[in-house]
Structure 1
Amino acid sequence: MFNKKSIFTFLQAQVAAFVGGITDYGIMILLTEVFKLHFSFSILISGTVGAVINFSINRFWVFKNQSGYSSHINSQLFKFALVVLGSISLKSLGTLIFQKAFQIDYRIGRVVTDLFVSYGFNYPLIKYWVFKIKKTDVVKSN
């Protein structure tokens, strides 16, 4: 079921998610704590910045769809933008629920929410929808 390549790809994707996520989380804290924005707005802004970083790392390192696939970048960007919109919405809602319903600090609620969103929503959609390589693309590159 799992081979070395799929495990390595998963681990690379986790590095991309971690770098994008740390950037996202750090900007959220900065905007909320220093600039006093509500955390929902901070998540929107920070999530966008983190998404740009995550997309770039995924495209050029994890799934290596940069060379020979330039015609697909618009499709990938559109699909990735939809995933990001869903992800930011889920993170904002989840963080708000943890904070309002359970009185859990937004920083902790965000980390817990991120774990569920990252593994259950982002990774499957990014791997199997955004950066899915079609068999015709593999033939073209050979």
Structure 2
Amino acid sequence: MSKRKSVFVFAKAQVSAFTGGLLDYGVMIFCTELLHIHYTISIAIGGIIGAVLNFSVNRYWTFNANQANHSPVGFQLVKFIFVVAGSIALKSSGTWLVTNGLHIDYKISRIMVDIIVSLGFNYVLQKYWVFRKQPTKELHQTDF
């Protein structure tokens, strides 16, 4: 993949993450502030809702992973669920640690943790594991 295309895919992934993140963050605030659910649980609820949007956008727009040279949607979805579970665990525990360790409001801690998890965990696993292209088998003379 060319450097220009890699930058373009990275930018699209960040737009997707930001869009899903806004939904996720909004749900977290709603659940915590209005429904009085602990913020670590609200992060999980928001993460699941944001993940639905993020999976769809990434599959069809960011990585074009609905093409024949990608895994079937079921395989992608199973892998994505593992990534989301890890992401939610990292975001919930990281937000709790930063909030309690540094005595920062959970809303700010969440943003700090989100940036790290989104770039260092979610993007890498989605690009190179969940939505990666399948290698094409080349025919060699010995295959005949």
What TM-score results when the alignment is normalised by the length of structure 1?
0.91
CA distance in 2, matches of 1:80, 1:59: 10
2:21 is aligned to: 21
Percent identity over the alignment? 50
Equivalent position of 2:11 in the other structure: 11
2:39 & 2:97 partners in 1: Cα distance?
Answer: 12
Mean CA deviation greater in 19-28 or 65-74: 65-74
**What is the CA distance between 1:135 and its match in structure 2?**
2.2
Alignment of 1:1-142 (within 5 A): 3-68=3-68, 72-136=72-136
Corresponding letter in the other structure for 1:66: N
1: CA distance, partners of 2:125 / 2:67: 21
For residues 23-62 of structure 1, the C-alpha deviation after alignment (integer angstroms, 9 at most, x for no partner) is 0000100110011100011011100000110000000001
Taking structure 1 as reference, are residues 109 and 37 closer, same or farther at Cα in structure 2, changes over 3 Å only? same
Structure number with bigger Rg: 2
Name the residue aligned to 2:140: none
Q: 1:102 Cα deviation (Å)? A: 1.3
Q: CA deviation at 1:12?
A: 0.3
Residue 70 of structure 1, CA deviation: 8.1
Aligned residues: 137
Shift of the alpha carbon at 1:2?
6.2
C-alpha displacement of 1:81 = 0.4
* AA at the equivalent of 1:44: A
Q: Is the 8 A contact 2:70 2:131 kept in 1?
A: no
1:69–1:36 CA distance, 2 compared to 1 (3 A): farther
**d(CA) in 1 for partners of 2:11, 2:118:** 13
Gaps of 5+ in 2: 138-144
Q: Whole-Å Cα distance in 1 between the matches of residues 62 and 130 of structure 2?
A: 12
Q: Distance in 2 between the 1:135 and 1:69 partners?
A: 8
Give the residue type in structure 2 aligned to 1:104.
Answer: I
Give the TM-score normalised by structure 2: 0.90
SS in 1 for 2:66: coil
Deviations 1:106-132 (A, max 9, x none): 000000000100011000000000001
Query: Secondary structure, in 3 states, of the residue corresponding to 2:136?
Result: helix
Secondary structure at 2:72 match in 1:
helix
